[in-house]
A and B are shown apart, each in its own frame.
Chain A
Amino acid sequence: MGLARPIQEYESVAQWRQGLAAQWGGDPLAEDPEKLEILASFCEFTGQDPDQLVAFCFLRKKDSGVRFGSAVRQKELAARIRAWKETLGLPPRQAQGRQNQVLSFLIHNGVSIQMGIG
């Protein structure tokens, strides 16, 4: 399943771009387009677009409607990231690098999944 529109048009990707630029300066997504390709590859694997990936990590309280980060869902997503990494068939360091791009996308969207050191 491909994405319905160009990946950089998703709100969460714009947020990623903004977060990276604020943190590191420049426009890291433009300077390193592979970042977007990696994210697109993960989206393909999960069958979800970038905004859906972020939304998946949050739930709303039934009574108040307040949004909160779901630890269970984030664990589930971490498992999917691990599974995707396995399918890449890359040397560990390279696979870790790709995983980190997905984690970076999530981090700058408020989802901190810590998967340890490479």
Chain B
Amino acid sequence: MSAAAALQWRRPSVLPGFGLAFGYTVLYLSLIVLIPLSATFFKAFTLDWSAFWSTVTAPRVAASLRLTFGASLIAALLNAVFGLLVAWVLVRYRFAGRRMIDALVDLPFALPTAVAGIALTAVYAGNGWIGRLLEPIGIKVAFTPLGVIVALTFIGLPFVVRTVQPVLEDLEPELEEAAATLGANRWQTFRRVIFPAISPALLTGFTLAVARAVGEYGSVIFIAGNVPMVSEITPLLIITKLEQYDYAGATAIAVVMLVISFALLLLINFLQWWAGRRLAADR
């Protein structure tokens, strides 16, 4: 490669090690992530299109996709409401145990999903601590779609809190003071001043929670009961197909999930770019 071309591609620097660091990064990324992922797409292209389509639109797969997306959206919505509440309380108020609660919010990130799954099942089963209270009033959580929502709410909980929290911390108090001076009450200030400022972060956190929930497996399979057409999530269906040595079927469903995940990732990147631009415009 000529020196001139290299200079155009990379700005010169006195620091050493670019070649080694960059080369290793690209090699490792390719071997672990890019090549295996592309191989999956190539595998999908070798499938017969009509076979692909009939696999993906089979009633059992369609039902699982409906459940996975429906439950993910409801769980993320719950997390948007309660996550905003938790972030607000943690940033704005001082009370006993606040630091501990702040640290505890990350529990779903730290707790292995299988542990979360059996723990939630134990709590929400008919004889569990909470299930026992809900069953007499006719609410069954474990082994129903409602259980799927509970598990997905658990694992998505930190996303909204941790994206809204820093924005709420950085919010300038002058804005609220100005609103109060102009005669707004607290609710009006929240709705007209605070909420618009944090809404991009809230939306980002919501989308992150959806993205995580859609692919979740470990915490859901224990509490869901996994009844085909009723409480069977899409990732479980991939495993079922694999266990039946139906590699083509598993790949077809996996590709659908990958495409959806990448679309959500693009959306998240766009939301963050938008939020960053709004933040820059405010300053």
Asked if A and B bind, the verdict is no
**Chain B positions near chain A (C-beta within 8 angstroms):** none
